[in-house]
């Protein structure tokens, strides 16, 4: 049995309704988020977890200041020094706005730190834990965003090439927002199926994805700036995976029991819109099917 700590949507740097603490030079809301992060690390070490998965969105801003980067690294390093491997998935707030610039987690990939893995493209990796190997299939936000943009570009091309024909009318109907959403759902589901078919049955497997599934419940609507598409949750449910670790939605949600699929929610409440929402982190006991 493998004990896995799963969290997401840390959003370090949120300062809503906070004030400067002159003793630390940090905003009081930033301190709230760091205190929640400290509790997570303390619990993970106490429970002797075998693996930590962070499912995206480390910082509020795509260009976090060095202090926030230091505080994030300080806490992640505690797991690494304890011999607990950590997987960091790149979310939408981790991505730069300008092509060829580094994402907020890329420095860890460049440093090539043993036990610390960054997933910034769709792939399957094998992680060595204290209880053997586990397979992690990663679906970062960048995959979803590029697919969305490609389908939107195809829509525009289709409409401009044959603007008045019967074919154009048919294509136009196919590419209306709901049908664009359907295409996204079909392709993402097919990609996850492809990942599942490449798994080694001799090892446990986890799917981790940063995707907009279900509906908006609060602050993710304000934090989301690329697009306004929310997909059917069932597209990620694939029984070939032993656990599905999700990120992006800020409310705790259990999408499926078999396989277990969870959004842990944001680690700390981002604003008053989340005051009645459950959120935090989860520790699950993974058993291979």
Instruction: Say what the pLDDT of residue 289 is.
Output: 67
| pLDDT score of 74 more than 70 | yes
pLDDT at 125 over 90: yes
pLDDT at 271 over 60: no
156 vs 160: CA distance, rounded Å: 6
Is the peptide bond between 208 and the residue preceding it cis, with omega within 30 degrees of 0?
A: no
CB atoms within 10 A of CB 113: 16
Q: Can you give the pTM of this predicted structure? A: 0.88
Reported confidence tier of residue 225, pLDDT bands at 50, 70, 90: very low
16-20, 59-63, 234-238, range with greatest mean pLDDT: 234-238
Task: Tell me: pLDDT of 220 over 80.
Answer: no
- For residue 275, the model assigns a pLDDT of 57
Structural domains in the chain plus CATH codes = 2-286 (3.60.21.10)
Asked if residue 163 has pLDDT above 80, the reply is no
Per-residue pLDDT of 143-157, as tens digits, reads 999 999 999 888 766
The set of residues, in sequence order, having a beta carbon less than 8 Å from that of 112 and lying 6+ positions away, is none
Among 22-31, 80-89, 91-100, 132-141, the least confident range: 22-31
The more confidently predicted of residues 83 and 1 is 83
pLDDT: which is higher, 43 or 24? 43
Higher pLDDT, 88 or 275: 88
d(CA 245, CA 55): 7
Residues contacting 100, CB < 8 A, separation 6+? none
Q: Which of 113-117, 177-181, 244-248, 269-273 has the lowest mean pLDDT?
A: 269-273
Q: Determine contact, residues 34/69, Cβ cutoff 8 Å.
A: no
How much is the average pLDDT of 244-258? 94
Query: CA–CA separation, 179 vs 184, rounded Å?
Result: 9
Provide the pLDDT confidence category of residue 158 given band limits of 50, 70 and 90: low
Beta pairing, strands 260-263 & 243-247: parallel
pLDDT score recorded for residue 217: 53
SS3 173: helix
């Amino acid at each position: 049995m493998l004990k896995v700590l799963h969290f997401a949507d840390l959003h370090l740097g949120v300062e809503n309704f906070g004030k400067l603490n002159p003793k630390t030079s940090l905003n009081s809301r930033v301190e709230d988020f760091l205190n929640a992060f400290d509790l997570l690390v303390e619990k993970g070490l106490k429970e002797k977890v075998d693996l930590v998965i962070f499912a995206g969105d480390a910082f509020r801003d795509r260009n976090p200041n060095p202090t926030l980067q230091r505080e994030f690294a300080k806490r992640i390093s505690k797991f690494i020094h304890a011999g607990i491997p950590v997987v960091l998935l790149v979310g939408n707030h981790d991505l730069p706005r300008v092509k060829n610039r580094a994402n907020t987690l890329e420095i860890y990939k460049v440093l090539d730190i043993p036990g610390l893995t960054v997933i910034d493209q769709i792939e399957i990796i094998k992680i060595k834990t204290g209880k053997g190997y586990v397979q992690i299939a990663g679906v970062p936000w960048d995959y979803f965003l590029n697919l969305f943009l490609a389908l939107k570009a195809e829509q525009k091309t289709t409409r401009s090439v044959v603007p008045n024909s019967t074919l154009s009318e048919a294509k136009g109907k196919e590419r209306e927002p709901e049908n664009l959403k359907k295409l996204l759902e079909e392709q993402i589901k097919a990609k996850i199926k492809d990942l599942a078919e490449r798994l080694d049955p001799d090892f446990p497997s986890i799917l981790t994805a940063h995707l907009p599934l279900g509906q908006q419940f609060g602050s993710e609507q304000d934090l989301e700036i690329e697009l306004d598409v929310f997909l059917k949750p069932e597209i990620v449910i694939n029984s070939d995976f032993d656990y599905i670790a999700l990120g992006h939605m800020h409310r705790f949600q259990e999408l499926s029991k078999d396989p277990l699929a969870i959004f842990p929610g944001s680690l700390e409440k981002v604003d008053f819109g989340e005051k009645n929402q459950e959120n935090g982190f989860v520790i699950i006991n993974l058993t291979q099917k």
